[in-house]
Structure 1
Amino acid sequence: MLQDERLEAIVQYLNEHERIDIETICKINNVSKDTARRDLINLEEMRKIIRIRGGAKKALLSNEVHNYGERMNMASEAKGKIGKFAASLINNGDHLILDASTTVQFSAKYLTSQKNTVVTNSINIASVLSQREDIKVNLLGGTLSTRHQAIYGSRAIRDIQDYKVNKCIIGTCGISAEGLSTSIEEEGLLVHEMIKRSDQVIVIADSTKFNKTFFQKVCDLNSVDIVITDKEVPKNMQEILNKHVVEVIVVPSHE
């Protein structure tokens, strides 16, 4: 078994069990105790685990921060499939909120419904939809973040409070028992308000986002109606989503 496969196996186990000991690592990966310890050191350096006496526990706080270009290239095939499916859920004439997620940009690209009104804080999504004469785009005011190609700030939050829409399509950095979360404080505050303004909340997220918690909480899971992803959801998260009556739709990235 390759090292990447061993590390992934450990992380998957921790997603289900919270803690793991050296003996269990040796058993599931068929390795020596020395190799198991080295693998834990690597995972700790990656900030995915916290080493404890005799093993490790899952690191609950994630610290990954990427700019828009980096995020656009991550899991792009999966994002395309997820975004396209989300776009298929939109009806003619729907009023929408689309956040500045890279996955949501794919939804804008594949939108086939007509006569929609879209509210967004994403300058890229506004640019994509500007090619459609039958779609009205309302771009929120505020402060432009060039790193994230999005508009944030108190003005954007005030603006979004003036709207009420049929559907809100948002991405997320993390989905966990704590709810949705993000590494960008301004984004979390704005998306929280977006969710409050929508009759239906659709979260689109590739499989890497599950069992991750970031600095800024966005909302509890009971605020979410649908989650669209590319792989089967981890068992623990499926149980939590079921408890909150969240519909999960899996759209495989490979057919």
Structure 2
Amino acid sequence: MRKKTTRQQEIILLLTEQPTLRISEIASHLGVTTETIRRDFRELTEKGRIDRMYGGALLRPGPDSNVAQRNDLLVDERKAIGRQASQALGDVQTIMMGSGATTIHAAHRIALDFNNITVIVHSIGAAVALAANPTINVLMAPGIFHLGEGAVHGVQTVEFLNRFNADWCILGASGLSAEGPNDLLIEGAEVYRTMNERSQRCMVLADSSKFNRIHVAPYAKWPQVDLLISNSLPGGDLRKAMESAKTRILVPETAPA
């Protein structure tokens, strides 16, 4: 049997080559039991190398990972989250949308499901996805372009957003803590905070790898968030905080629960 250190290095290599893998797949490839892989996953999670997901794991993205790289992770889960987000909007007329890989999936779905609405965005990817439907009026905010995020931020962006109201905002997150959602980018968090303030209702889209992650810039507290859509239910203090704030949690049927 491989030594533990060697085996864990091989797990990291496998996840580098294929962004998400199930426990059973890794165990079969390495010729060990699923319980051995579970122990390895626990240790690699504690070391900050991977994030656990239902039935498997994915490499933890570094702070310099960009939205194009994240688009290749958890594709099925993010598509399901995006579909659920579109269904949750109801009779909507105006939306503000944040940036991020999961939000872009939601934009693709909204372009399929809605006509004759206005969507205010700061993400190039979301704008392109929505523009596939010529009946959707896409308002692109100005600002300083952040290449890694594929979105604009800054004073001009915030000033532009403050000119409008929306029925819903759809926001991403780098992390979710008991306090609320947060972001790696201070400028991005400021945009999200403004979108939330200008919208009647707020939904956050975040896969389970974001649970219990704390980054530099919180942008809301749970009482300010109406809905979280994720591929699984959070637990512990995070779940308690959301229940206390009466933040609804939706898990798409087709996503791992």
Q: Tell me the TM-score normalized by structure 1.
A: 0.76
Residue in 1 that maps onto 2:123: 122
Instruction: State the shift of 1:232 in Å.
Output: 2.2
Residue in 2 that maps onto 1:5: 38
Structure-2 change in CA distance of 1:193 and 1:206 (3 Å) = same
Superposition CA RMSD, Å: 2.3
Which amino acid in the other structure matches residue 116 of structure 1?
A: I
In the aligned structure 2, how far is the partner of 1:2 from the partner of 1:144?
46
Residue in 1 that maps onto 2:136: 135
For structure 2, which runs of at least 5 residues remain unmatched after alignment?
Answer: 1-33, 52-60
Which amino acid in the other structure matches residue 215 of structure 2?
A: F
Superposed CA deviations along residues 43-70 of structure 1, whole A, max 9, x for unmatched, are: 346499xxxxxxxxxxxxx974421111
Structure-2 change in CA distance of 1:151 and 1:254 (3 Å) = same
Residue in 2 that maps onto 1:229: 230
Superposed CA deviations along residues 21-49 of structure 1, whole A, max 9, x for unmatched, are: xxxxxxxxxxxxxxxxxx48x8346499x
Which amino acid in the other structure matches residue 249 of structure 1?
A: L
Equivalent residues of 1:83, 1:110 under 8 A apart: yes
In the aligned structure 1, how far is the partner of 2:62 from the partner of 2:184?
7
In the aligned structure 2, how far is the partner of 1:81 from the partner of 1:211?
22
Residue in 2 that maps onto 1:94: 93
Residue in 2 that maps onto 1:84: 83
Structure-2 change in CA distance of 1:7 and 1:193 (3 Å) = farther
Instruction: State the shift of 1:114 in Å.
Output: 1.7
Equivalent residues of 1:92, 1:114 under 8 A apart: no
In the aligned structure 1, how far is the partner of 2:239 from the partner of 2:179?
14
Instruction: State the shift of 1:239 in Å.
Output: 1.4
Structure-2 change in CA distance of 1:65 and 1:136 (3 Å) = same
Structure-2 change in CA distance of 1:142 and 1:7 (3 Å) = same
Of 63-72 and 205-214, more deviation after overlay is shown by 63-72
Which amino acid in the other structure matches residue 39 of structure 2?
A: R
SS at match of 2:84: helix
- Alignment map for 1:79-228 (pairs within 5 Å): 79-92=78-91, 94-111=93-110, 112-228=113-229
Which amino acid in the other structure matches residue 6 of structure 1?
A: R
Structure-2 change in CA distance of 1:209 and 1:114 (3 Å) = same
Instruction: State the shift of 1:77 in Å.
Output: 1.1
In the aligned structure 2, how far is the partner of 1:225 from the partner of 1:7?
37
Identity %: 20
For structure 1, which runs of at least 5 residues remain unmatched after alignment?
Answer: 10-38, 49-61
Equivalent residues of 1:93, 1:115 under 8 A apart: no
Structure-2 change in CA distance of 1:203 and 1:109 (3 Å) = same
Equivalent residues of 1:92, 1:113 under 8 A apart: no
Residue in 2 that maps onto 1:56: none
SS at match of 1:126: helix
Instruction: State the shift of 1:93 in Å.
Output: 5.0
Residue in 1 that maps onto 2:10: none
In the aligned structure 2, how far is the partner of 1:136 from the partner of 1:241?
33
Instruction: State the shift of 1:226 in Å.
Output: 0.5
Equivalent residues of 1:64, 1:183 under 8 A apart: yes
Instruction: State the shift of 1:141 in Å.
Output: 0.4
Superposed CA deviations along residues 177-229 of structure 1, whole A, max 9, x for unmatched, are: 12111111110111111110100001111111111110111111111000111
The structure with more radius of gyration = 1
Equivalent residues of 1:176, 1:213 under 8 A apart: yes
Structure-2 change in CA distance of 1:189 and 1:110 (3 Å) = same
Superposed CA deviations along residues 153-195 of structure 1, whole A, max 9, x for unmatched, are: 1100111111100000111111111211111111011111111
Which amino acid in the other structure matches residue 182 of structure 2?
A: S
Which amino acid in the other structure matches residue 99 of structure 1?
A: G
Residue in 1 that maps onto 2:7: none
Instruction: State the shift of 1:91 in Å.
Output: 3.7
Instruction: State the shift of 1:117 in Å.
Output: 0.2
Q: How many residues align?
A: 212
Instruction: State the shift of 1:80 in Å.
Output: 0.6
Which amino acid in the other structure matches residue 85 of structure 1?
A: Q
